Amino acid sequence: MNALHEVGTRRPATVEEAVRTLAESGAQALAGGTDLLPNLRRGLGTPRVLVDLTAVPALDAIAVQADGSLRIGAAATLAALAADAAVRTGWPVLAKAAGLVAGPTHREAATIGGNLCQDTRCVFYNQSEWWRAGNGYCLKYLGDKCHVVVKSDRCYATYHGDLAPALMVLDASVEIAGPAGARTLPVAGLFVEDGARRLTLAPGEWVTGVVAPPAGGWMADYAKARVRESVDFALAGAAVALRRDGDRIGALRVAITGTNSAPLVVPADSVVGRSWDAETAQVLTKLVHTTSHVLATTVASVGYRRRMAQALVRRLVDDLWTRA
Ligand SMILES: Cc1cc2nc3c(=O)[nH]c(=O)nc-3n(C[C@H](O)[C@H](O)[C@H](O)COP(=O)(O)OP(=O)(O)OC[C@H]3O[C@@H](n4cnc5c(N)ncnc54)[C@H](O)[C@@H]3O)c2cc1C
Ligand code: SF4
């Protein structure tokens, strides 16, 4: 089966036209195509029409707004984001996370909207049609059972996006357009921890942009563990934003990816006000451990990914604490 043979493409000229087209039955958003097209080639999905959002004029704009916040249009490429002078100076964690996605050729096409909304992944899902058919498919698509958590009533495929945790620790928002009008959500509100449902977008809704507030004394960083440094998805990834107040942690935000079916905020309030020492590091590591729910959805072992999530957070805080 090759769904691409049966798919039409539409290139909307306005946000409203994109909303109308996406509300049609069988329509799906297309941006850089670096996640969606490989999946369609494997028979994962049968959209009737792909709505090329990169055709909407000026959707790729990256601009510092009058209030000092940063607005990134959904079709801005990750290469543009990584290279943008204002982003590198004011929100370097975003430039870094964008520069760590896939390889250089992917980043020329891949967009921030597509990065946020990318599909979840699993060793039983990202396979050819004949492989999946031979294994009776699975709950995420066409089947009725999960091979990772047998007797599960939901899919545990993993979210591996790099930009979401970086945006989450910046307290950024996503702008959404849809048939009921425009709305804004904290980035964490875009996701649902279910590998098949993935996003909280209603039919016809799509992400038009993201807005990050001014850095305001926060220092932030992102790191990921992957098989090959040049191209791979995060086996575990972490973003940390820290405000140091003398010898105390003044404020701390932590988010993880590559561990669960959604990028998640680690509740770190209990370490705020403490000094960054071995005891505090142990408390934070425990919080990461409790938040992450790693399952056998990739080729790397569960134990390795779980330990890497904890180690990455610890290393990032170590480094930010020293630099602050
Ligand atoms: C070899 C390889 C390595 C990769 N490595 C990484 C990696 O290290 N880190 C990482 O994060 N990703 C990785 N990816 C996945 C992908 O390349 C990136 O996530 C990329 O940013 C996706 O953006 P895109 O514009 O190409 O999205 P597309 O493929 O066009 O779309 C992805 C999904 O988002 C939806 N979508 C797109 N734009 C919007 C929008 N504005 N609103 C609502 N829905 C939308 C589409 O319908 C689709 O479901 C990799 C992919 C490959 C093939
Ligand atoms: S976690 Fe289960 S249902 Fe989800 S893709 Fe993997 S095997 Fe399928």
Give residue limits of the domains in the chain: 1-52, 62-117+158-323
CA–centroid distance for 15 within its chain: 23
Ligand 1 touching residue 257 (CB < 6 A)? no
Our mutation pick for probing the ligand 2 site, out of 42, 121, 131, 138, counting the most ligand atoms within 8 A of Cβ, is 138
Shortest-distance atom of ligand 2 to CA 149: 2
| Confidence check: pLDDT of 1 > 60 | no
| Confidence check: pLDDT of 204 > 70 | yes
62-117+158-323: which CATH topology? Answer: Enolase-like; domain 1 (3.30.390)
Shortest-distance atom of ligand 2 to CA 125: 5
* pLDDT tens for each residue of 154-187: 999 999 999 999 999 999 999 999 999 999 999 9
* Banded model confidence at residue 3, pLDDT cuts 50, 70, 90: very low
Q: How far is the CA of 142 from the centre of ligand 1 (A)?
A: 22
Smallest Cα–Cα separation from 211: which of 61, 87, 85, 72? 72
* pLDDT tens for each residue of 233-252: 999 999 999 999 999 999 99
Which pTM value belongs to this model?
0.97
* pLDDT tens for each residue of 282-317: 999 999 999 999 999 998 999 999 999 999 999 999
Phi/psi for 155 (5° steps) reads -85, 135
Which residue lies with its CA nearest to atom 4 of ligand 2? 155
Question: Rounded mean pLDDT of 192-199?
Answer: 97
Q: How far is the CA of 227 from the centre of ligand 2 (A)?
A: 21
Question: Rounded mean pLDDT of 185-210?
Answer: 97
The architecture in CATH of the region 1-52 reads 2-Layer Sandwich (3.30)
Express as a percent the part of the chain with pLDDT over 70: 98
* pLDDT tens for each residue of 21-73: 999 999 999 999 999 999 999 999 999 999 999 999 999 999 999 999 999 99
| Confidence check: pLDDT of 220 > 80 | yes
Task: Extract the tokens encoding 111.
Answer: 């967009």
**CA end-to-end span of the chain:** 54
Shortest-distance atom of ligand 2 to CA 195: 4
Residue 152 or 184, more confident: 184
Predicted pLDDT at 5:
54
Ligand 1 touching residue 237 (CB < 6 A)? no
Express as a percent the part of the chain with pLDDT over 90: 94
Mean residue pLDDT of the chain comes to 96
Predicted pLDDT at 113:
98
Question: Rounded mean pLDDT of 104-130?
Answer: 97
- Residue for token digits 């934003």? 241
Closest-approaching ligand to the CA atom of 74: 1
Shortest-distance atom of ligand 1 to CA 163: 11
H/E segment holding residue 14:
none
Our mutation pick for probing the ligand 2 site, out of 39, 120, 121, 122, counting the most ligand atoms within 8 A of Cβ, is 122
Residues 6+ away with beta carbon under 8 Å from 295: 148, 149, 156, 158, 302
Q: How far is the CA of 308 from the centre of ligand 1 (A)?
A: 23
Contact indicator for 297, 208 with CB cutoff of 8 Å: no
Predicted pLDDT at 152:
87
Smallest Cα–Cα separation from 173: which of 162, 163, 184? 184
Closest-approaching ligand to the CA atom of 38: 1
Shortest-distance atom of ligand 2 to CA 154: 3
Q: How far is the CA of 65 from the centre of ligand 1 (A)?
A: 26
Shortest-distance atom of ligand 2 to CA 140: 3
Predicted pLDDT at 178:
98
* Ligand 2 pocket, residues with Cβ under 6 angstroms: 122, 124-125, 138-140, 146-148, 155-157, 195, 297
Ligand 1 touching residue 200 (CB < 6 A)? no
Closest-approaching ligand to the CA atom of 200: 1
